[in-house]
Structure 1
Amino acid sequence: MSCSLTKFQVYLRRNREGEMDPKGDIWAAPYRWGCMVIAYKTNKFQKHKLAPVEDWADLWRPDLAGRISMVDSPREVIGAVLKYMGASYNTNDINMEVNGGRDAVKHNLALLAKQVRLFDSSNYLKAFGVGDVWVAVGWSSDIIPAAKRMSNVAVVVPKSGASLWADLWAIPAASRIQTNRIGGRIRGPSPLIHQWIEFCLQSARALPFKQEVIPGASPSHLQGHSANVPVELTKGGPRLNGNLVDGAPPPDILEKCEFLEPLSNSTLSDYHWLLTSIQEPGHGLIHKMYQNIISVAKFSGWFNSKLT
């Protein structure tokens, strides 16, 4: 398949076992993508003379204690700690690759847990919308539509980079199963499916993203392609405050962003240890994140929920 896939192919090429393989087949094609972002209420920040949010380090600021809501994904929460410490989301050996090792990560994770009022992927934006918190940390596909319905909200991608997600088109293998229920024919995908995918990947399809009709960014953005859209077509609608460009991080920040990769069993053990070590009696939020990681560990790999 042509166009726009180069930067994605390292994750999309898989072998028969579903593991990443540079020589494997392309199993899916992205039609939009986005990243983790931080939204904050500019009116509250101005009223209380607070510095704007720019990077992960701001989540540890004393003046924001109890004013933050965040998704309860263990990969995103611990990932934020790793980025704050100058490490990668995809750190394989925390003791060897992170300054201070597991104990330092544990310390910063415990501090973050005290800063965040609500870890809940379902309700973090509700708390933000009603004003219980002034900062919300979550996926751009959640936050951008919500922010556009509100006033006095800025949305930023952290300067040190964030995790990336992608929504994908895929052709299920089960679509070619033979069955007597439909006259014994082998039902396959539409012969037009490849044309449809090619159509979705055309650079001209970036217009809905440029108009902010669709939250996220076009795959062509990753390749530096830009559709020549008349300026008048992108005017008139409300624009988000922040550093997003056509629904994507600016180029200098995008270079620091990462797609989440499957974690090794030893790294999963580190995540278990981190979450259980800061768990306090009755601390349901940390317990919920721990249960999430336990359920994920039952599978052979841990993929970003946006990529599955």
Structure 2
Amino acid sequence: MSIGVIDLCKSSNLDNGEIKAEKSQPMRGRGTQFMESYSGVDNLANEEMKAAFEEWKSKTYALTVPLRIITLRGSVPPSWIKDFVQVQGKRLKLRTEFRSSLEAIFSELTSASKKNQIEAQSTMAADLITIGDSWMNLAICEGIIEPILDAEEQDWYSSLPDKWKVYLRRNKNGQLDPRGKIWGAPYRWGSMVIAYNKTKFERHNVAPIEDWKDLWRPELAGKISMVDAPREVLGAVLKYMGASYNSNDFSSQVSGGRTAVLQKFSALRRQVRLFDSMHYLKAFGAGDVWVAVGWSSDVLPAAKRMPNVTVVVPKSGTSLWADLWAIPAASTFATDRIGGRVRGPSPLIHQWIEFCLQPARALPFCQEIVPGASPLALTRPYNFIESLETTSGAPKLETNLIAGLPPPEILCKCEFLEPLSKEAFVDYQWLIAHSPKTSDGWIGSIMKFFTSTLQHLKYAPFR
């Protein structure tokens, strides 16, 4: 074999820079013909290859990257989905599904966990789901969500104000812990608000509502509807008494202790005609009540559809809520029914979260297309809002909110709901046990909530 190569080299000569292999005419002829024909169609081939490549890029092959998101209906601006698909191109296989409530999403996750069964179409098999911040500690305790791995290394995490970083870091029992892991990523937030029918108030010469204490006024007895969330109802009592939503010990942190809290709580129950998170705004819209107390995500869209309604954030402060992206704990299931999802969520989850947290994504909130605010606006809301272009043609609502946010002098008094401590739970349990029983069933629903919470608190460390 080596002799043949030497002979070939010896029989070759250099003529005007071209190597001629005299003993390899068949090989030379084939190669020369190819090069000559190629030089004649060079431009045409380039155009054909370019066109073929563009056609290939336009097709969706099996090598697409899936991203399945299950979210609360009305919480994600439609423009986000459209823009993300446009940015990612046709390699993205995005599937978005919507649920009517946070409770529905939570229930679907717990159902899969209790049955220890998971299917490709189940909520547990999604890459990301929406979870309310007040549900996060229970979700962690139930083992239905998992930490967001490598969150601290992502740009979206670095962009968050420190207040979010503290609030999102939890231990395995759902308690705030500076050494814990990151279990969620916020994409919008808001507050509890009070709406009242200005026409009714003016007709009956009733003073406007400004703060929580106004809910106890005699002229409003039986004319209030309110969400039936226990922490929100009892939190309103605590704020009225000058205490925190997150008070850990009524005896030492609330003036008058347990007895005083019980008196105010019982009085509020007599004032409120309806405790019902599903129907409180229907009663308000129908004129059955004059006042509605609920989350801004519910109240603001409803108030804009009603004539002469005022919405206020109580001046002594209120609770804050947040919608978060979280990862279902699908990787804890031993199954072959969900393909690669069992090994972890889509590699696009961080890109989606970062996309949701870009300053430009705040525009639908500022334009009041979707109620809420960007998480980036938590510590610098008004400078942040002024940097964005807003739409002046939107219907105006009489309110002390600024672009859907509490004004600065009130925001500094607002709080996120932290997980209950053991001491706080004992106080809440005593309060419910000593409350007069009524036929409305509301006390029973609160007791069910606290009984469920107790199952997790038994195993949790407390501050």
Counterparts of 1:173-252 in structure 2, within 5 Å, are 173-175=329-331, 179-181=335-337, 187-224=343-380, 226-227=384-385, 228-230=387-389, 233-252=390-409
How far the C-alpha of 1:11 sits from its partner, in A, is 1.5
CA contact (8 A) 2:224 2:290 kept: yes
Residues 176 and 187, structure 1, Cα contact 8 Å, conserved in 2: no
**Do residues 107 (structure 1) and 263 (structure 2) align?**
yes
Match of 2:291 among 132, 135, 143: 135
- In the aligned structure 2, how far is the partner of 1:172 from the partner of 1:185? 10
Aligned pairs for 1:150-161 within 5 A: 150-161=306-317
What's the CA shift for 1:295? 2.8
- Equivalent position SS for 2:456: coil
User: Which residue does 1:43 correspond to in 2?
Assistant: 199
Q: Return closer, same or farther for 1:278/1:298 CA change in 2, 3 Å cut-off.
A: same
Deviation at 1:10, TM superposition (A): 1.4
After superposing the two structures, state which structure 1 stretch, 286-295 or 31-40, moved more: 286-295
Deviation of 1:242 after TM superposition, in Å, equals 0.8
**Contact 2:224–2:273 (Cα < 8 Å) also in 1:** yes
Q: 1:144 is aligned with what amino acid? A: L
Residues 67, 132 of structure 1: 8 Å contact kept: yes
Distance across 2 between alignment mates of 1:183 and 1:293: 38
Change (3 A) 1:67 1:15: same
Q: Distance in 1 between matches of 2:437 and 2:173?
A: 39
Say how many residue pairs are matched: 299
1:169 alignment partner in structure 2: 325
Q: CA deviation at 1:176?
A: 7.8
Q: Does 1:145 align with 2:301?
A: yes
What secondary structure sits across from 1:223 in the alignment? coil
178-187 or 277-286: bigger deviation: 178-187
- Once the two structures are TM-superposed, the CA of residue 150 in structure 1 deviates from its matched residue by 1.1
The match for 1:306 is none
Alpha-carbon distance in 2 for matches of 1:271, 1:185: 41
What SS does the corresponding residue of 1:7 show, helix, strand or coil?
helix
Q: Secondary structure at the match of 2:424?
A: helix
CA displacement at 1:179 relative to structure 2: 4.2
The 3 A distance-change label for structure 1 pair 198 and 50 is: same
Paired with 1:183 and 1:67, the residues of 2 have a C-alpha distance of 54
Summarize deviations over 1:79-108 as a string: whole Å, max 9, x none. Answer: 111000000000001011111100111111
- Deviations, residues 40-93 of structure 1 (Å, cap 9, x unaligned): 001111111211111000000111111101111111111111000000000001
Asked if the contact 1:69/1:136 (under 8 Å) is kept, the reply is yes
Unaligned runs of 5+ in 1: 302-308
* Residue 53 of structure 1 pairs with residue 209 of structure 2: yes
Task: Label 1:188 to 1:117 Cα distance change in 2 as closer, same or farther (>3 A).
Answer: same
Residues 22-33 of structure 1 mapped to structure 2, 5 A cutoff:
22-33=178-189
Aligned-pair CA distance for 1:173: 3.8
| 1:118 maps to 2:277 | no
For residues 436 and 371 of structure 2, what CA distance do their matches in structure 1 show? 35
* 8 Å CA contact retained: 1:178, 1:187: no
Work out whether residues 216 and 271 of structure 2, in 8 Å CA contact, stay in contact via their aligned partners in 1: yes
CA drift of 1:264 comes to: 2.0
- Alpha carbons of structure 1 residues 283 and 176: separation in structure 2 relative to 1, 3 Å: closer
Instruction: Give, in whole Å, the separation in 1 of the partners of 2:341 and 2:249.
Output: 51
Alignment partner of 1:280 is 2:451: no
The alpha-carbon deviation at position 175 of structure 1 amounts to 4.7
Whether the 8 Å CA contact 2:174–2:419 is kept in 1: the answer is no
- AA aligned to 2:184 is A
Greater relative contact order structure (CA < 8 Å, 6+ sep)? 1
Q: Which has the larger share of helix?
A: 2
* 1:89 corresponds to 2:248: no
Paired with 2:336 and 2:448, the residues of 1 have a C-alpha distance of 42
Distance 1:98 1:199 in 2: 43
2:456 is aligned to 299
Identity %: 63
Look up the SS of the partner of 1:90 in the other structure. Answer: coil
Local SS of the residue matching 1:208: helix
Superposition CA RMSD, Å:
2.0
1:66–1:270 Cα change, 3 Å: same
Given residue 415 of structure 2, which amino acid in structure 1 is its aligned partner?
E
1:113–1:186 Cα change, 3 Å: closer
Partner of 1:305: none
Q: What per-residue deviation string (whole Å, max 9, x for no partner) do you get for residues 158-213 of structure 1?
A: 00111111000123342586743466785432222212111111222111111111
Q: How far is the alpha carbon of 1:283 from its aligned partner?
A: 4.4
Gaps of 5+ in 2: 1-156, 459-463
Distance of aligned partners of 1:118 and 1:171 in 2 relative to their CA distance in 1, 3 Å threshold: same
CA shift in 2, pair 1:236/1:183, >3 Å: closer
Larger mean Cα displacement after TM superposition, 261-270 or 117-126: 261-270
Report the TM-score when normalising by structure 1: 0.90
- Within 2, Cα distance between the matches of 1:22 and 1:292? 27
